[in-house]
């Protein structure tokens, strides 16, 4: 009987140790097919730049089965969700030249540099930026367009130029070229 109790105690101790290790590893995420840094950043309420920093990534490319470190504990993420009255601060503000684009032009995939599928998310507010000026994943406010995410890049996006995503080609052409104020938010 003593051997049986000793065996049960050992099994219990081992399972407690295993479950502790499992909860400690909950700060990692295994990339699935179709994932992007943008999707993962939204899921865990962190920025793309944080994900890249925590995982020493030099680009936005990730691959299935890749393990990513998520440094924000789930309890902190849940507490952050509850704080809805948090004020948004303007980190930086400047004037840019803004044009518009669609995700369905000839030769366009409709997938942004951060992995957002514009064809599946036509109501999403996304802007294309020069990441040296506006970091990818940043929340922004664009005068005349509204709140958006800096989720795309483009060959013509150098310096103080942005492209705003508009799903309709007709409305994108109506946008034309405008000089607008952009606010980068925290």
Domains belonging to the chain, first-starting first, are: 24-82 (3.10.350.10), 90-185 (2.40.40.10)
Q: What distance in Å separates the CA atoms of residue 165 and residue 110, rounded to the nearest whole number?
A: 10
Would you place residue 29 in the very low, low, confident or very high pLDDT band (cuts 50, 70, 90)?
confident
Stretch 30-58: mean pLDDT, rounded? Answer: 85
pLDDT at 127: 95
For residues 98 and 180, the answer to whether their CB atoms sit within 8 Å is yes
Does 7 have pLDDT greater than 70?
A: no
17 vs 53, more confident = 53
Does 147 have pLDDT greater than 70?
A: yes
Stretch 11-28: mean pLDDT, rounded? Answer: 45
- Tell me which of 51-55, 69-73, 133-137, 149-153 is least confident: 69-73
pLDDT at 77: 46
Would you place residue 5 in the very low, low, confident or very high pLDDT band (cuts 50, 70, 90)?
very low
Q: What distance in Å separates the CA atoms of residue 49 and residue 5, rounded to the nearest whole number?
A: 52
pLDDT at 86: 53
Does 144 have pLDDT greater than 70?
A: yes
Percent of the chain with pLDDT over 90: 34
Percent of the chain with pLDDT over 70: 77
Would you place residue 72 in the very low, low, confident or very high pLDDT band (cuts 50, 70, 90)?
low
């Amino acid at each position: 009987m003593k051997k049986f109790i000793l065996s049960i105690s050992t099994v219990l101790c081992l399972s407690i140790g295993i479950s502790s290790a499992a909860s400690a590893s909950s700060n990692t995420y295994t990339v699935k097919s179709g994932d992007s840094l943008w999707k993962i950043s939204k899921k865990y309420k962190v920025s793309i730049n944080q994900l890249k920093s925590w995982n020493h990534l030099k680009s936005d490319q990730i691959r299935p089965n890749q393990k990513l470190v998520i440094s924000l504990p789930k309890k902190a993420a849940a507490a952050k969700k509850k704080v809805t009255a948090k004020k948004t601060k303007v980190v930086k503000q400047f004037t840019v030249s803004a044009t518009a684009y669609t995700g369905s032009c000839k030769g366009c995939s409709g997938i942004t540099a951060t992995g957002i599928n514009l064809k599946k998310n036509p109501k999403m507010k996304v802007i294309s930026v020069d990441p040296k000026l506006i970091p990818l994943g940043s929340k922004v406010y664009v005068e005349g367009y509204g709140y958006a995410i800096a989720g795309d890049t483009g060959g013509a996006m150098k310096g103080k130029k942005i492209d705003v995503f508009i799903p309709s080609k007709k409305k994108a052409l109506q946008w034309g070229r405008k000089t607008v104020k952009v606010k980068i938010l925290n």
